[in-house]
């Protein structure tokens, strides 16, 4: 990381990064492979994150949180993802929701929901995507119809990170399809409300620790107080957070790629072939040199974009460049690192196979790679 970036980190940021690093390299490192092999949500991981004050990172101190900077959050997530992407992504979804509740919720809704999210006694989830609607988020079709003081929700959400165990659901709904994205509102709902059912966790290429599933709403009646962001505000809020979300994915990629590079570097220093260390073969050296260049470039793009967001500048294009580049070079870079380790690269006694699978998922979350190209090409050509 650039020293100019480091200098802007506060004591609170540095303390959170230190906690995350120690937690990642101990608690998470000892369990991440088990969560993956057992294909289950990292429940005890989330509970432990709460005990390590990693669940209210974007919530002001007055509400019991940490209020770290965006730069600090990126560094926290880089450190956790260096050990496990799934739990890092689970935590970022939760923290983003807690931060949004702290910024936007008022009255009873705020006092009912916020304290549990901050301490981690309740787990949050963000429900935008639907089985038939992903990239074109303005076209969502889960409906909310007003009936006196209450609303009735119907429809199906998909790809809900934390969905298998979430307690608080932030649900994006269409209140009036003639209004398009201006009809989209957001409800904060207790996941045990009658009319809500969950599918089992998805069987994925990897990343099972983040507990992705589908959640259905069938004549689910909720009170008017559950209306978190009124029609017109819901879609705006979802889009406002997207640049930071993309940069944070990029930071998590830097963490995984860093681990791949250090794992492969230490392996090739210790293994011999044809009378020399693998580390002395130029083909091996240059492969790892390429990974190192891409890691350096990813970090520069990531932290430049975070700094722009921190400074309040429009960073849509910077965030798109960072996410597109980092996700691409992370997947190919992890594969290169596994290649120089020979067949041992494919064994699960180190984290690279888990990181390789997770790196595939990073191409879809918070906007597919092609959506980043839409943003970049628009800025070039329109
Ligand atoms: C692990 C994981 C966790 C997730 N967690 C959440 C969550 O917590 N909450 C949530 O709401 N969603 C979540 N998502 C969903 C994610 O946001 C969507 O996958 C993403 O928005 C893309 O939508 P889609 O997969 O339906 O792809 P589609 O929209 O069906 O697109 C398919 C492909 O078409 C191409 N494409 C689409 N549009 C364009 C275009 N305009 N120009 C060029 N090419 C295009 C791209 O190649 C894209 O990959 C998660 C996804 C994953 C994989």
pLDDT tens profile 42-79: 999 999 999 999 999 999 999 999 999 999 999 999 99
Best residue among 159, 186, 237, 382 to mutate for probing ligand 1, ranked by most atoms within 8 Å of CB:
159
Phi, psi of 101 (to 5 degrees): -65, -40
Beta carbons of 120 and 51 less than 8 angstroms apart: yes
Q: Is the CB of 128 under 6 A from ligand 1?
A: yes
Pick the CATH number of 241-381 from 1.20.140.10, 3.40.190.290, 3.40.50.10610, 1.10.150.120: 1.20.140.10
Q: Is the CB of 245 under 6 A from ligand 1?
A: no
Where in the chain do CATH 2.40.110.10 domains reside? 125-234
Best residue among 125, 127, 135 to mutate for probing ligand 1, ranked by most atoms within 8 Å of CB:
135
Q: Is the CB of 241 under 6 A from ligand 1?
A: no
Fold of 3-122: Butyryl-Coa Dehydrogenase, subunit A; domain 1 (1.10.540)
Q: pLDDT digits over 269-321, tens only?
A: 999 999 999 999 999 999 999 999 999 999 999 999 999 999 999 999 999 99
Alpha-carbon distances, residue 64 vs 45, 57, 116, 168, 363 (angstroms): 21, 10, 10, 18, 34
Where in the chain do CATH 1.20.140.10 domains reside? 241-381
Q: What is the DSSP letter of 137?
A: G
Q: Is the CB of 207 under 6 A from ligand 1?
A: yes
What gap in Å lies between CA 111 and CA 105, rounded to an integer? Answer: 9
pTM for this predicted structure: 0.97
Where in the chain do CATH 1.10.540.10 domains reside? 3-122
Beta-sheet pairing, 124-127 with 168-174: parallel
The sign of the CA dihedral 5, 11, 17, 18 is positive
Q: Is the CB of 160 under 6 A from ligand 1?
A: yes
Superfamily of domain covering 125-234: Butyryl-CoA Dehydrogenase, subunit A, domain 2 (2.40.110.10)
59-73, 133-147, 158-172, 233-247: the lowest-pLDDT one: 233-247
What gap in Å lies between CA 173 and CA 144, rounded to an integer? Answer: 6
3-state secondary structure 49-85: HHHCCCCCCCCCHHHCCCCCCHHHHHHHHHHHHHHCH
């Amino acid at each position: 990381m650039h020293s100019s970036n480091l200098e802007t980190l506060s004591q609170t940021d540095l303390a959170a990064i230190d906690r995350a690093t120690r937690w990642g390299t101990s608690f998470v490192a000892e369990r991440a492979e088990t969560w993956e092999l057992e294909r289950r949500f990292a429940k005890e991981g989330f509970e432990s994150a709460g005990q390590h004050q990693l669940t209210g990172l974007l919530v002001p101190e007055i509400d019991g949180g940490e209020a770290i900077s965006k730069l600090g959050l990126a560094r926290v997530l880089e450190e956790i993802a260096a050990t496990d992407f799934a739990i890092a992504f689970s935590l970022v979804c939760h923290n983003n929701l807690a931060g949004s509740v702290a910024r936007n919720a008022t009255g009873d809704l705020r006092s009912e929901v916020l304290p549990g999210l901050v301490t981690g006694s309740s787990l949050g989830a963000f429900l935008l995507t639907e089985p038939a609607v992903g990239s074109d988020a303005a076209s969502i079709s889960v409906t909310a119809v007003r009936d006196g003081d209450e609303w009735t929700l119907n429809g199906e959400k998909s790809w809900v990170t934390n969905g298998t165990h979430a307690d608080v659901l932030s649900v994006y709904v269409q209140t009036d399809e003639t209004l398009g994205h201006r009809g989209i509102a957001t409800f904060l709902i207790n996941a045990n409300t009658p009319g809500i059912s969950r599918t089992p966790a998805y069987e994925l290429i990897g990343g099972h620790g983040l507990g992705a599933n589908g959640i259905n709403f069938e004549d689910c009646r909720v009170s008017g107080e559950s209306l978190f962001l009124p029609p017109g505000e819901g879609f705006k809020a979802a889009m406002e957070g997207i640049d930071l979300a993309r940069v944070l994915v990029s930071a998590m990629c830097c963490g995984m790629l860093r681990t791949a590079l250090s794992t492969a570097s230490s392996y090739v220093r210790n293994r011999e072939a044809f009378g020399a260390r693998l580390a002395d073969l130029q083909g091996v050296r240059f492969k790892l040199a390429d990974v190192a260049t891409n890691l350096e470039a990813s970090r520069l793009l990531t932290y430049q974009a975070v700094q722009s967001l921190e400074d309040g500048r429009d960073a849509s294009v910077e965030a798109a460049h960072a996410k597109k580049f980092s996700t691409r070079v992370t997947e190919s870079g992890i594969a290169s690192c596994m290649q120089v380790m020979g067949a041992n690269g494919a064994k699960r006694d180190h984290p690279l196979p888990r990181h390789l699978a997770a790196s595939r998922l990073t191409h879809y979350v918070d906007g597919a790679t092609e959506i980043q190209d839409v943003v970049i090409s628009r800025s070039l050509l329109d």
